Structure 1
Amino acid sequence: MLERSSSPLKICVLLLSILLTGCSSVKARKLPYDAWSLNFYSPDYMDVWIETAAVLDIDGKVFGNAGSGIPAQGYPRPLSKGVPAEFRGKPAGWPEIPGGKGRRVVGANLPELLYVRWQSIAEPQTYNALIRIPESTRELMRNSEDVFCRAYQKVVTRHRKWLVVGLAPGGIVKVWITGPCLQAIEVTREQASVVPLGPHLGKALGEYYFFQEESKAYVEKFGIPYGSW
């Protein structure tokens, strides 16, 4: 199983085998922009640590260092310290405009498969997911759209070149595509699998990443809104 893979090479082999046995037959096409971005987001106070992410593009190339670290999050605010008198974040559900932070997948064509393994620190639990991106989504990423952009106060032409992956407790994964000045379009919602070996495939001896003080206080007071994602 994927969660027992102990090296990037094994992940790559599995991604390639899935591609060869069930991939899209659409011909690869050149991107209309330099690169697309893989971004991650977690609900307020539902702290996450991304251990690894990988991409298989439609040319059959694997990009094994596509993401890691802390995803974007509304609350706690950056550099916040201590527990506030009032919790202003709303972790239940997804935002209308999903944000996200990550990195550009330079050199990749459009994505066929995404793999991500992460720690849901609020629970705590370790999950992984293998997500297939449909051709209809790639077509939307290729096409440009004319949209009125408030930042420029005029109509501009933009592409949906940001792939945003939301990671929530219970192993819920939601994916959108969006871009500058454009509305987000939902791609898929997936249920991830638990990684039996725990954090870092057992190499962390069961130790999870640091739980922020404000997030911990919120969860202890209000719990985790399972079922809202």
Structure 2
Amino acid sequence: MNRLEALLLLGLLLCLSGCTHGVHRLPYDSWRLGLFAPNYMEVWIESADAVDVQERVFRRAMSGIAAISTPKNLKGNPRGWPKEPGSGAGKQVLGADLPRLLYVRWQSLVEPQTYEAYIVIPEATRQAMVVGEKAFCRADAKWITDYRDMLSIGLAPGGVARVWLMGACLPALDV
């Protein structure tokens, strides 16, 4: 092996070892961040940012209008949270490892008032995100192995923020 070949081989090895630095250890490609508001409560999200366990910041992982439900015939109760929260309006957070911190700044259009929340994701929640669970999926009537790969944040008047962890076919867990 001549000197040029050795240098090319060394360069190739360095390039390949550099590619493994950013690889995350999740059993899925990305996790989802969703936001919603209680019945009749409109919310505008200025920014929802995420910080993963490797201290990488994902700015504006979500912004815009939060999901809101309007019950039939306007007969819903505006108080409290739904028994089965949905995933909310959101986006996939691509390239992120497990979340460590979420920051949300939003405007409650009901009051009007601007709020912000720093949400620390507990270790137990992160561990639940990587455990596969057997679940019956009503969408296609099949048993699958599902992961809790969705964080859903409810934003309410008064600056209240509440977080749930869920999977597509798994019930929501209160964070």
Please name the residue that 1:94 is paired with.
81
Tell me by how many angstroms 1:96 deviates: 1.4
Q: Which runs of 5+ in 1 are unaligned?
A: 1-27, 78-85, 188-229
Provide the residue aligned with 2:43 in structure 1: 48
Equivalences for residues 63-212 of structure 1 within 5 A = 63-75=58-70, 86-99=73-86, 100-187=88-175
Runs of 4+ in 1 over 4 A off after TM superposition: none
Q: Post-superposition shift, 1:90?
A: 2.4
Name the amino acid aligned to 2:79: A
Post-superposition offset of 1:29: 6.0
User: Aligned with 1:138: secondary structure?
Assistant: helix
Larger radius of gyration: 2
Deviations 1:28-80 (A, max 9, x none): 96010000000001011111000011111001100012111111111179xxx
Task: Kindly provide the CA deviation profile for residues 73-107 of structure 1, in whole angstroms up to 9, marking residues without a partner as x.
Answer: 11179xxxxxxxx4233221111111112000001
RMSD: 1.6
2:14 — aligned with what?
A: none
Distance of 1:29 and 1:62 partners within structure 2:
14
Q: TM-score, normalised by structure 2?
A: 0.83
1:34 aligns with 2:29: yes
Question: 1:154: how far off?
Answer: 2.5
Q: Distance in 1 between matches of 2:120 and 2:146?
A: 24
Which consecutive residues of structure 2, in runs of 5 or more, have no partner in the other structure? 1-22
| Native 8 Å contact 1:113 1:130 kept in 2 | yes
> What is the aligned partner in structure 1 of residue 6 from structure 2?
none
Q: How many residues align?
A: 152
Cα deviations by residue, 1:122-161 (Å, 9 ceiling, x for unpaired): 0111000111000000000010100122222221110010
Amino acid at match of 1:87: L
Identical counterparts, % of pairs: 53
Matching residue's letter, 1:102: G
8 A Cα contact 2:24 2:96, kept in partner: no
